[in-house]
């Protein structure tokens, strides 16, 4: 599966950056970058195919050296913060450095890396907490003539993948779609048959590619193939750049993967950087709990996504703010309930906990035993309100009542929300 990308090196430490810079100084431009910019006429000379995955070591073989490239050398480097958030270029480090992506002289890359590695980058997508920058990506600065936008997303209305293409990129696609909707083309793809040549050609036409048409069709087809074979939920290439010779290069990209496919994409999921994720969400996933952290004060533990959403809504309606979405599922064990309480009580923002369980598959007495076990094992330093309804509800309430723990019971969801909100000011 061949896709053109700029040559680069991931760096986890200053020594990695220093080694990359030394390699570039010794070898000049990589043959990949040189070949991409030289155009289709130089592919055979470079020993490359028209579309190749460009992740080779930075080295320029003597038989490919030209006086022009030799004189230019590798003078500029792109230093990118590798964080799981968009808006890096416009972001700001808490240490004061503006921007999470920089183009600099190669001789200045190490000094710049010292300001970025280990720092916290705040962007419009990270929230005020920001994301830790533990890895930088050093890429060769390439010269592009035009920038385009390409993405594959899962579209609920279309019932499958949709390719979004625009001849203008390198900017917010949302803004462009609002100001020039006619320039944004959407091409639905039948997930059962895959992308056809006609669909790939329609995307190429929307991108207004000026180079070799067959190469462009091949690259678009390979991007869709990657989307399908790697169980992606999103492939966004912005910009999909074009050199002066018409060669398309995926200059920057954001790719999302389906968590449910982790069992067959083990190599990809082994690259997961948990430092970029909410530690509460990481802990919840280890115990098969569905958790999303919010910024409120009332911790929620519910069984079922719909009931969880309703619980958060009623908390908000009663004047409180939910601290999380936590769904223990329909078959949670006592151990999972204990782990759920550990996550909730570890959050310093949580001032009260509301447990709302409707027992169907999940039995109320099992939840009650888990709640009592958790309260005894980890302690519950904040008010705890529990509403149980459904299978074995009487047994569940009896377990709570006879536990001797400070647990407030509620008759229904309205009563539970009122008591949880009132507990904040108690």
Residue 59, pLDDT score: 33
Active-site residue identified among 149, 242, 291, 339: 149
Residue 363, pLDDT score: 82
Residue 215, pLDDT score: 93
Active-site residue identified among 37, 236, 242, 369: 236
Characterize 208-222 residue by residue with b for buried, 16 or more Cβ atoms within 10 angstroms of its Cβ, and e for exposed. ebebbeebbbbbbbb
Residue 67, pLDDT score: 33
Residue 198, pLDDT score: 96
State pTM to two decimals: 0.72
CB 33 within 8 A of CB 142: yes
Residue 255, pLDDT score: 92
Identify the segments of the chain with pLDDT beneath 70.
Answer: 1, 24-74, 171, 330-332, 361, 426
C-alpha span between 71 and 79 (Å, rounded): 23
Segment 293-331, tens digit of pLDDT = 888 999 999 988 888 999 999 999 999 999 998 888 766
Residue 9, pLDDT score: 86
Active site residue 149: yes
Residue 54, pLDDT score: 35
Segment 22-36, tens digit of pLDDT = 776 665 555 445 555
Residue 48, pLDDT score: 38
Residue 24, pLDDT score: 67
């Amino acid at each position: 599966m061949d896709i053109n990308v700029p040559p680069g090196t991931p760096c986890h430490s200053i020594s990695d950056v220093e080694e990359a810079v030394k390699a570039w100084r010794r070898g000049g431009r990589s043959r990949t970058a040189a070949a991409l910019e030289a155009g289709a006429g130089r592919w055979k000379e470079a020993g490359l195919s028209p579309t190749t995955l460009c992740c080779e070591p930075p080295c320029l073989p003597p038989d490919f050296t030209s006086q022009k490239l030799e004189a230019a050398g590798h003078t500029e480097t792109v230093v990118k913060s590798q964080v799981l958030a968009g808006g890096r270029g416009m972001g700001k480090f808490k240490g004061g450095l503006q921007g999470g992506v920089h183009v600099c002289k190669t001789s200045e890359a190490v000094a710049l890396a010292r300001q970025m590695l280990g720092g916290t980058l705040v962007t419009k997508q990270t929230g005020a907490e920001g994301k830790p920058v533990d890895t930088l990506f050093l890429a060769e600065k390439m010269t592009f003539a035009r920038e385009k936008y390409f993405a594959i997303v899962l579209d609920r209305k279309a019932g499958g993948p949709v390719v979004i293409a625009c001849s203008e990129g390198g900017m917010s696609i949302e803004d462009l779609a609002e100001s020039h909707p006619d320039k944004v083309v959407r091409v639905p793809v039948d997930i059962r048959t895959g992308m056809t040549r006609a669909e790939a050609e329609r995307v190429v036409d929307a991108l207004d590619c000026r180079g070799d048409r067959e190469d462009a069709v091949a690259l678009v087809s390979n991007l869709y193939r990657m989307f399908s074979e790697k169980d992606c939920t999103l492939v966004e290439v912005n910009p999909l750049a074009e050199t002066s010779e018409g060669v398309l290069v995926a200059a920057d990209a954001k790719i999302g993967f389906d968590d449910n496919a982790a069992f067959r994409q083990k190599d990809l999921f082994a690259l997961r950087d948990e430092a970029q994720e909410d530690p509460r969400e990481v802990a919840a996933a280890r115990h098969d709990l569905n958790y999303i952290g919010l910024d409120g004060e009332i911790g929620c533990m519910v069984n079922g996504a719909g009931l969880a959403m309703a619980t958060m809504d009623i908390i908000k309606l009663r004047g409180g703010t939910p601290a999380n979405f936590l769904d223990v599922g329909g078959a949670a064990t006592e151990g999972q309930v204990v782990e759920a309480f550990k996550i909730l009580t570890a959050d310093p923002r949580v001032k009260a906990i509301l447990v709302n369980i409707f027992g169907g598959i999940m039995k109320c007495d099992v939840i009650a035993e888990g709640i009592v076990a958790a309260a005894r094992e980890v302690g519950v330093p904040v008010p705890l309100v529990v509403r149980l309804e459904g299978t074995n509800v009487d047994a569940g309430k009896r377990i709570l009542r006879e536990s001797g723990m400070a647990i407030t019971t509620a008759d229904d969801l309205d009563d539970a929300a009122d008591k949880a909100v009132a507990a904040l000011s108690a």
